[in-house]
């Protein structure tokens, strides 16, 4: 058992928007580090210049902060093992690649892409697995050196042993032995001088003293190469855990970013930025993704702190997880119910102001208890509660006409409720409900008809938080004015 301090990392490539796969790849190493008093690092793997997207790094950083997955070392905050952005570490990779060449574990290769394409085509024609054919592997170190010094363009390839086999261990899947003859002389350093993932990540995990590598299962096939590289340097191997893949909601096929449009149609998204706009909370999102690959009960509701206490890396499971957005809704709604009134008020306020509404904080605090149970996403506060912050509401005529009655009869009811309420010194729940109920009794109408009209008149909508509590918050003046407007609307036809 190693006694090294625990160090884990999230090592995203800034090639697109931050999605739930990234979030989960950050969450587990974060939990492991926090559980065991270790250090959690953010490392930006930006060596693939073709796929690089400006803005992606900031989105990743913002996403981590939003989720509360704060890192101890990273590109924006520094740390003892920096720089934490791979393009700023070129010299380190260069030096390591050449070290492997000197040790005879790697070789410079001068083959052009045309030549490589031809070799590949030939191999495919002969039903062979495409791989490097070894032309430059046969050069003597002196010949190779001369060509490099002469300015020939080159890459550095790993010199895969021709014989023997390698056994690698994934914490979730156990050991796998691979024949070296099945492995390629993979490129470690590209002709632009930047490393491939295979070199950069191994060097950095070593230099940054990473003890546990938790990463996506797409890296499982290259693990034998990675272990070869690590052993060629004579380094200790970190523990490797490859996370399960996400499946589409249908369970059929791997979830891809292209499925975004489909999800958005239903009001869902796999991108963190969208999820925030759609009214999902970090707590709900974290709880949802935590359980996709962590073998705790499917409906366990946990805050981040509770996850830290319960997390164990050996609880992770390799089975694919189907994305289930209904579960996301469930966790989001559940966490919203757990927020304090002040906390929830602060979280829904931006959704009102985003709509241009002028939010009175006192009113906001009063409506939170009325809304809380009705919210699945934070932006649901708009459909249930915008009317609290509007000067006027604009009820639709059809909504004002109670079931089984016509406009004239509905106008009369509205007028009568107006008179009843106008006779009250205030429109507190206690004061208003008894006379209105008495009116329902004596008129022979049913409560839904009367209160339905009143609801639409005062809130402008057919569905609202409890009527009397809502009217009390709207206030006497506004309620009376709104009912009067409705009477006029109903009388107009």
What DSSP state is assigned to residue 74?
B
Binding to ligand GLU (CB under 6 A) within 260-279 occurs at none
Q: How far is the CB of 391 from ligand GLU (least distance, A)?
A: 50
| Stretch touching ligand GLU by CB under 6 A, among 6-14, 115-123, 335-343, 383-391 | 6-14
| Residue 193 near residue 200 (C-beta atoms within 8 A) | no
Tokens of residue 413, six digits: 């009811």
Tokens of residue 196, six digits: 């491939």
- Cβ closest to ligand GLU, residue 198 vs residue 276: 198
Give the residue carrying structure tokens 């992770």: 316
Q: Is position 45 an interface residue for ligand GLU (rule: CB under 6 A)?
A: yes
Q: What residue number has its CB nearest to ligand GLU?
A: 215
- Cβ closest to ligand GLU, residue 179 vs residue 218: 218
Question: Mapped to the 3 state alphabet, what secondary structure does 81-147 carry?
Answer: CCCCEHHHHHHHHHHHHHHHHHCCCEEEECCCHHHHHHHHHHHHHCCCCCCCCCCHHHCCHHHHHHH
Cα separation of 198 and 225, whole Å? 8
Q: What is the dihedral of CA 361, 367, 368, 372, to 10 degrees?
A: -160
Binding map of ligand GLU across residues 328-367, x = CB under 6 A, - = no contact = ----------------------------------------
Binding map of ligand GLU across residues 219-258, x = CB under 6 A, - = no contact = x---------------------------------------
Q: How far is the CB of 201 from ligand GLU (least distance, A)?
A: 5
- Cβ closest to ligand GLU, residue 11 vs residue 189: 11
| Residue 335 near residue 345 (C-beta atoms within 8 A) | no
With both helix axes pointing from N to C terminus, report the angle between 476-491 and 407-422 in degrees, rounded to the nearest 10: 160
Distant-in-sequence, close-in-space partners of 272: CB < 8 Å, separation ≥ 6: 17, 18, 19, 20, 22, 23, 59, 63, 66, 67, 285
- Cβ closest to ligand GLU, residue 28 vs residue 451: 28
Cα separation of 237 and 260, whole Å? 37
- Cβ closest to ligand GLU, residue 12 vs residue 63: 12
- Cβ closest to ligand GLU, residue 11 vs residue 69: 11
Q: How far is the CB of 60 from ligand GLU (least distance, A)?
A: 10
Tokens of residue 47, six digits: 């060596």
Nearest to 57 by CA among 82, 25, 85: 85
| Stretch touching ligand GLU by CB under 6 A, among 7-15, 52-60, 155-163, 462-470 | 7-15
Among 6, 7, 8, 12, binds ligand GLU (CB under 6 A): 12
Q: How far is the CB of 249 from ligand GLU (least distance, A)?
A: 23
The 10 Å Cβ neighbour count of residue 336 is 27
Catalytic site residue from 4, 153, 257, 462: 257
Tokens of residue 159, six digits: 């010199």
178: left (phi over 0), alpha (psi -120 to 50) or beta: beta
Is 257 an active-site residue? yes
Binding map of ligand GLU across residues 181-220, x = CB under 6 A, - = no contact = --------------------x-------------xx--x-
On the question of a cis peptide bond just before residue 25, with omega within 30 degrees of 0, the verdict is no
| Stretch touching ligand GLU by CB under 6 A, among 11-19, 87-95, 149-157, 283-291 | 11-19
Q: How far is the CB of 338 from ligand GLU (least distance, A)?
A: 32
Give the residue carrying structure tokens 């523990």: 239
- Cβ closest to ligand GLU, residue 22 vs residue 449: 22
Among 13, 39, 211, 417, binds ligand GLU (CB under 6 A): 13
Strand bridging mode 321-322 / 246-247: parallel
Q: How far is the CB of 4 from ligand GLU (least distance, A)?
A: 19
**Residues known to be catalytic:** 257
Q: Which residues bind ligand GLU (CB under 6 A)?
A: 11-13, 45, 201, 215-216, 219
């Amino acid at each position: 058992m190693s006694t090294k301090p625990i160090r884990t990392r999230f090592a995203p490539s800034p090639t697109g928007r931050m999605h739930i796969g990234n979030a989960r790849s950050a969450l587990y190493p974060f939990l492991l580090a926090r559980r065991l008093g270790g250090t959690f690092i953010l490392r930006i793997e930006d060596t693939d210049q073709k796929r690089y997207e400006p803005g992606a790094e900031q989105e990743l950083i913002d996403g981590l902060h939003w989720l509360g997955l704060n890192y101890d070392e990273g590109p924006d905050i520094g740390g003892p093992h920096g720089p934490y952005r791979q393009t700023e570490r070129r010299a380190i990779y260069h030096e390591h690649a050449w070290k492997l060449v000197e040790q005879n574990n790697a070789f410079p290769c001068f083959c052009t892409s045309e030549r490589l394409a031809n070799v590949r085509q030939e191999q495919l024609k002969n039903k062979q697995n495409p791989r490097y054919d070894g032309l430059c592997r046969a050069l003597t170190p002196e010949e190779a050196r001369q060509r490099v010094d002469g300015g020939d363009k080159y890459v550095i390839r790993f010199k895969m042993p021709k014989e023997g086999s390698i056994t690698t261990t994934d914490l979730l899947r156990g050991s796998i032995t691979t024949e070296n003859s099945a492995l390629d002389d993979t490129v470690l350093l590209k002709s632009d001088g930047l490393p491939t993932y295979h070199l950069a990540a191994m060097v950095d995990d070593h230099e940054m003293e990473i003890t546990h590598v938790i990463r996506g299962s797409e890296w499982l096939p290259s693990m034998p190469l990675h272990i070869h590289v690590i052993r060629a340097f004579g380094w200790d191997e970190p523990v490797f855990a490859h996370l399960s893949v996400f499946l589409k909601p249908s369970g059929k096929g791997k979830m891809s970013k292209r499925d975004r449009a489909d999800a958005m149609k239903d009001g869902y998204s796999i991108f963190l930025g969208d999820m925030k706009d759609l009214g999902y909370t970090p707590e709900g999102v974290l709880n949802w993704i935590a359980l996709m690959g962590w073998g705790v009960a499917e409906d366990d509701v946990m805050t981040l702190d509770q996850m830290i206490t319960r997390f164990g890396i050996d609880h992770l499971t390799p089975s694919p997880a189907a994305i289930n957005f209904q579960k996301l809704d469930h966790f989001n709604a559940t966490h919203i119910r757990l927020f304090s009134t002040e906390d929830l008020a602060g979280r829904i306020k931006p959704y009102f102001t985003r709509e241009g509404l002028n939010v009175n904080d006192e009113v906001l605090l009063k409506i939170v208890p009325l809304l809380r149970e009705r919210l699945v996403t934070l932006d649901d506060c708009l459909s249930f509660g915008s009317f609290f912050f509007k000067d006027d509401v604009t009820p639709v005529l059809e909504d004002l006409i109670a079931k089984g009655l016509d406009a004239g009869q509905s106008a009369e009811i509205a007028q009568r409720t107006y008179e009843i309420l106008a006779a009250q010194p205030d429109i507190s729940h206690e004061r208003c409900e008894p006379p209105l109920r008495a009116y329902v009794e004596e008129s022979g109408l049913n409560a839904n008809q009367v209160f339905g009209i009143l609801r639409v008149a005062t809130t402008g909508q057919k569905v609202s938080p409890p009527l009397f509590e809502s009217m009390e918050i709207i206030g006497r003046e506004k309620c009376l004015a709104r009912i009067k407007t409705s009477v006029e609307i109903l009388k107009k036809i």
